[in-house]
Amino acid sequence: MKYYAIAPLNNLESIREFDHYMVIGSFLEVRDYFKFYRQRRKEGAVLILDNGAFEKGAPMDEKEYMKWISKLQPQRVVLPDVYDDVGRSVEIGLKFLMKAERVLGDFFNRIDWIAALHGMEIESLNYEYARYSQNGVTTLAIPYKHWKYSADRPMIARMIPRRKMFNVHFLGLRGIEEFMHIKPGMVDSIDTSYPWKVAQGLKKLDWEMKMEEAQVEEAIQGMIDLKKKCEQVG
């Protein structure tokens, strides 16, 4: 299981030694943020570009998002979605996918397209599986915010039909105890700002906080520990 690193805006250099990153599209207008991840991409790092629906409450403007995909050239892209809205997420995600195929040309086929699952009942989840499997989505992502208990998302991952057709990505981490329920082959990758939230002493990451050196060291050690846990899962 691959671990995708996240860091606040003021602490990017502290995660340079990682080689997989989650990039939030709504922050790419910050020059140093874009510059850091563009350089790491050139150096061979693997990037997931996310549209920022969770951070901002709504997806990025479609044209703006397409612009950053073209400029950053990430290997993996989360489709635009509307947080907690199954029907709308499927609608705008698949519409964006069709437009991206026209706009991005050959690069379109080199991207691992990721769709976030917002359904919380079997019927709505099956609807999402069916629509995405027919339209070129290669990874299904399960957000942690929808689920209350640490065993919930691993249960959903096991339920995904035709598992070999999709990769499974966990968006965020509810807590370290979630690893107790993740078995080998169940989840392919995960991203999380959890170590930074712990170091900041906050429930939600403060992207612009200026942190003390000791806090940064605590967060980095937490990231290293999480990466090891992911590698142990396999």
Q: Give the E-state strand segments of the chain in sequence order.
A: 2-5, 20-24, 46-50, 76-78, 112-116, 139-143, 167-171, 189-192
**Residue 154, token pair as written in the block:** 């691993």
Residue-wise pLDDT for 153-203, tens only, equals: 999 888 886 566 789 999 999 889 999 999 998 899 999 999 999 999 998
Per-residue pLDDT 10s for the chain (234 aa) are: 999 999 999 999 999 999 999 999 999 999 999 999 999 999 999 999 998 766 666 668 889 999 999 999 999 999 998 877 889 889 999 999 999 999 999 999 999 999 999 887 888 888 888 888 888 899 999 998 888 889 999 998 888 865 667 899 999 998 899 999 999 988 999 999 999 999 999 988 999 999 999 999 999 999 999 999 999 998
pTM equals: 0.93
The string of pLDDT tens digits covering residues 141-151 is 999 888 888 99
CA distances from 99 to 95, 117, 159, 192 (A): 6, 21, 30, 29
Structure tokens at 177: 């105890």
- Among the listed residues 72, 3, 76, 1, the one whose alpha carbon sits nearest the alpha carbon of residue 40: 72
DSSP string, 15-60: GTT-SEEEEEGGGTTSHHHHHHHHHHHHTT-EEEEE--HHHHSSPP
Q: Give the integer Cα–Cα distance in Å for 221 and 30.
A: 26
pLDDT of residue 161: 66
Domains of the chain: 2-233 (3.20.20.105)
Three-point CA angle 115, 116, 121, nearest 5°: 120
Backbone angles phi, psi at 118, to 5 degrees: -110, -5
DSSP codes joined into one string, 111-122? SEEEEE----SH
